[in-house]
């Protein structure tokens, strides 16, 4: 019973944070690793994705009702991310993931500095989307999909930053768009990990329900507080992620 209560509370908080700016894996994965130290990594990663997809699906549904999504860009990106996540998940079983940490820390630092210095970054929509953006979105979605399937931490933050920087969205629209890609990558990773190792289905489903409730709360906060609130939360999560990755390396 304690396992369900503890991990359910973790999943609720992760879902709330993830719905606003991403980064739920930053909360859930360490909790699962610490709570089940003897369980295989693919099993825990798959269980984390099982929980996360419930929250991201709920957040996507709420965002789609309140925010106009550029579907002709977001859908191709999501399809590319679906395939990319499968490739990334396959890489997990034979390539050391630790090599990714220093690179991700450097990239995250650049993202944080850029966002902090550009006070207007993501505050408003800055340009109209063009037909050529569809191909750029597919490349972007595929690369992020591979990263999410292989390593994962910061995927939501990278998605939001990319949608703002590459496609001129505001932070609220970028957060909504990121949820569709998160659903795609989570579904792909679950399919792969479930075929490779048994998942903790009871734990994952309980965490999924709690993650869904947390996502509902987080989405409400984002929609009612606007892009400025999301930008501040984004910076906080990115800095926490950098700290976590540095701690893991040390």
What digits encode the pLDDT tens for the residues 174-194?
999 999 998 988 888 888 888
Average pLDDT over residues 35-46: 85
More confident site: 175 or 151: 175
Residues 90-125, buried b or exposed e (16+ Cβ, 10 A)? eebeeeeeeebbeebbeebeebbeebeeeeebbbeb
Cβ partners under 8 Å of residue 2, min gap 6: none
Confidence class of residue 163 from pLDDT cuts 50, 70 and 90? Answer: very high
Q: The pTM is what? A: 0.84
Q: 244 versus 202: which is more confidently predicted?
A: 202
Between the CA of residue 61 and those of 66, 69, 148, 201, 215, what are the distances in Å? 9, 11, 21, 24, 10
Band the pLDDT of 100: cuts 50, 70, 90: low
Question: What is the reported pLDDT for 140?
Answer: 95
pLDDT value at 239 more than 80? yes
């Amino acid at each position: 019973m304690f396992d369900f209560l503890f991990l359910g509370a973790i999943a609720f908080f992760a879902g709330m944070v993830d719905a606003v700016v991403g980064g739920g894996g930053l909360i859930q994965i360490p909790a699962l690793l610490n709570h089940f130290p003897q369980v295989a990594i693919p099993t825990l990663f798959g269980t984390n994705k099982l929980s996360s997809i419930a929250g991201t699906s709920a957040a996507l549904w709420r965002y789609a009702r309140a925010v106009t999504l550029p579907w002709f860009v977001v859908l191709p990106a999501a399809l590319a991310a679906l395939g990319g996540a499968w490739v990334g998940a396959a890489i997990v079983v034979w390539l050391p993931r630790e090599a990714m940490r220093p690179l991700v820390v450097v990239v995250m630092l650049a993202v944080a500095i850029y966002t902090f210095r550009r006070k207007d970054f993501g505050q408003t929509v800055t340009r109209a989307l063009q037909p050529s953006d569809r191909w750029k979105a597919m490349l972007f979605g595929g690369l992020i999909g591979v990263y999410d399937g292989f390593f994962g931490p910061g995927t939501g933050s990278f998605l939001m930053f990319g949608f703002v920087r590459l496609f001129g969205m505001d932070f609220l629209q970028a957060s909504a768009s990121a949820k569709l890609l998160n659903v795609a990558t989570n579904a792909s990773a679950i399919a792969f990990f479930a075929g490779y190792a048994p998942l903790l289905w009871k734990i994952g489903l309980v965490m999924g329900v709690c993650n869904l409730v947390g996502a509902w709360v987080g989405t409400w906060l984002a929609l009612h507080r606007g892009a400025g609130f999301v930008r501040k939360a984004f910076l906080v999560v990115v800095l926490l992620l950098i700290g976590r990755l540095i701690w893991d390396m040390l």
